[in-house]
Structure formats: structure tokens, C-alpha cells
């Protein structure tokens, strides 16, 4: 075993020596190659410009001159200024005459052109004054008369359409539940409602012959009740409404209606909603009463 280890060590040393010798020889050869190339390369000399001097001047490139072309073009023009004047004078002397035209008719045409200038300077002042008076005087009275007439009937017609008003309250059952017809009838009878006109229940001042204060109908279509089928009747909600102006004091009647609706909702376990289908709270109560007082 010891001999084998010694042999491995010796072999490794030999390999290392061979690798180092090869690397050293390669570097030495590279240094020789680079030194020889630079030494044998001929020195650089400047470019000889004498070759261009031997070229004849006729073959040498010449710069383009834009002025030479313009001068050549002017020289090559066929007519001189003197010739042009002669041609223009000859053209002016040409006169075209119609068969039925007198010889003095053509030269007399420019005379009225000069005579009209003083006429135009004197006449504009009266013509402008005459034209301006009807142009601005006519439309002013028509506009002033039409505007008040068209606005007046519109202002009077709007409040007439807004006069009829109604106070409404809703009583709805809890989600997923419905009111039974027999319990509805019992609660309405206990609160003083009477079945009557339009097949709905009404709250009168005293008896059935007295004026109606407010009424209650089914919230679903057609909104009526059938007393013969109240045991089979179910609904998700009822609507209480009062027409304004009502019989007597509107503020007292609205307060009575609100109190009656809240009592009805408590007896059936429902919720009271305002005309916006939101819970009827103290703020809604104040808004209802304020609306009635402003009537």
C-alpha cells in the first residue's frame, strides 16, 4: 500500500511539471509572435497627395453653382424688355368692336365710373338713416308685448295642477310573512273603520253618513276587499291615505291617522313605512306635520 501511495504522488508531480512546462512554452511562443509582427511591419507613411496634382483641371470635380443656371436661363430668354413694351403697346391699341356698336361707345364707358364717386359720397347719409329707422324700430315693440303674455298663463296654470295632495302611509308584514284577512278585519273594526264605497274600509268623523277622514286599501292590485272571502284573503301590506284638504282640521286629522296606523301595525306585528317606502320614524312624523301646516 505504501508503494502505491508513493507512485501516485510521483505521478502527480510529473503531471504538474508537464503542465507547467507546456504553459510556460506557450507563453514564450506568444511573446515571440507579437514582437516579430510589430518589428517587421513597415512604418506608416502619410498618404501621398501628389497623385491628385497630376489630374488635369478639366477632369477635376467642380462645385455646382446655382447662380450660373439662373444667369443662363435669363440669357436664353427670347424677349428683351424693349420687345415686351412694344408687344404691350400693340395689345393696348387693339380695340374690339361689335357690329352694332358705335366707335365712340367704348372710350366713353370709363367716364361714368369716375362721375359716380361724388354721387356716392353725398348719398350714404340719408340712405343709412332711412334704413336704420325701420330695422330697429319694428322688432322692439313686438318683443316687449309677446313676453309677458306667454309667461303669465304658464305661471297661473302650474299651481292649479299641484293643488290635489294626498298623505299616505304603508303597513307591511315582516319579510316572508303575510297578513290574514280575518285579523285585518277585526283590527280595522276595533279602530272604528267601516266597509263602504269602492269596496275598501273608511274612517268617518262619526257614522257612515258623515264625511270620510281617511281610508285603507289593499297594497296589491286591485286594492279592494271581499267581505265574503276574508277568511281566504292574505296580503303583504295595506295602504292608508287621506285627501287634503280634509273635513275639519287637517293637522288634527293627520295626527289621528298616524296614531291609528301605528296602533294597527302593532296589533298585526307589522312595520309602518312613509311615502318613500322607508321606516316611519320621528323625522318622518315631523316632515308629515310640517307638510300639512304649509298648506
CA dihedral of 218, 220, 225, 231, whole degrees rounded to 10: -100
Domain boundaries, the chain: 175-293
CA dist., res. 263 & res. 132, Å (int): 79
Q: What is the mean pLDDT of residues 186-210?
A: 93
CA dist., res. 19 & res. 89, Å (int): 110
CATH topology of domain 175-293: Cell Division Protein Zipa; Chain: A, (3.30.1400)
pTM greater than 0.85? no
Nearest to 168 by CA among 24, 280, 25: 280
When comparing pLDDT for 276 and 139, which is higher?
276
pLDDT for 1-44, tens place per residue?
678 889 889 999 999 999 988 898 888 876 665 555 544 555 54
Residue 199, phi-psi category: left (phi > 0), alpha (psi -120 to 50), beta (remainder): left
pLDDT for 155-178, tens place per residue?
455 544 445 689 999 999 999 999
Amino acid at each position: 500500500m505504501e508503494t502505491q501511495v508513493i507512485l501516485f504522488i510521483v505521478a502527480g508531480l510529473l503531471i504538474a511539471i508537464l503542465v507547467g512546462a507546456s504553459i510556460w512554452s506557450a507563453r514564450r511562443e506568444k511573446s515571440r509572435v507579437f514582437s516579430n509582427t510589430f518589428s517587421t511591419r513597415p512604418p506608416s507613411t502619410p498618404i501621398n497627395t501628389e497623385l491628385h496634382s497630376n489630374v488635369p483641371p478639366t477632369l477635376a470635380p467642380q462645385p455646382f453653382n446655382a447662380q450660373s443656371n439662373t444667369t443662363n436661363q435669363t440669357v436664353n430668354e427670347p424677349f428683351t424688355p424693349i420687345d415686351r413694351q412694344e408687344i404691350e403697346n400693340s395689345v393696348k391699341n387693339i380695340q374690339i368692336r361689335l357690329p352694332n356698336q358705335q366707335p365712340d361707345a367704348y372710350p366713353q364707358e370709363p367716364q361714368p365710373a369716375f362721375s359716380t364717386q361724388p354721387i356716392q359720397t353725398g348719398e350714404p347719409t340719408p340712405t343709412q338713416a332711412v334704413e336704420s329707422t325701420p330695422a330697429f324700430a319694428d322688432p322692439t315693440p313686438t318683443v316687449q308685448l309677446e313676453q309677458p303674455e306667454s309667461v303669465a298663463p304658464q305661471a297661473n296654470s302650474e299651481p292649479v295642477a299641484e293643488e290635489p295632495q294626498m298623505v299616505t302611509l304603508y303597513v307591511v308584514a315582516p319579510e316572508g310573512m303575510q297578513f290574514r284577512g280575518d285579523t285585518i278585519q277585526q283590527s280595522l273594526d276595533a279602530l272604528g273603520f267601516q266597509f263602504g264605497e269602492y269596496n275598501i274600509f273608511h274612517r268617518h268623523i262619526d257614522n257612515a253618513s258623515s264625511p270620510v277622514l281617511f281610508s285603507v286599501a289593499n297594497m296589491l292590485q286591485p286594492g279592494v276587499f271581499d267581505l265574503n272571502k276574508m277568511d281566504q284573503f292574505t296580503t303583504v301590506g295595506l295602504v292608508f291615505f287621506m285627501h287634503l284638504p280634509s273635513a275639519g282640521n287637517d293637522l288634527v286629522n293627520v295626527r289621528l291617522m298616524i296614531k291609528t296606523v301605528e296602533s294597527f301595525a302593532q296589533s298585526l306585528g307589522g312595520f309602518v313605512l312613509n311615502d318613500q317606502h322607508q321606516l316611519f320614524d320621528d323625522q318622518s312624523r315631523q316632515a308629515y306635520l310640517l307638510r300639512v301646516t304649509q298648506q
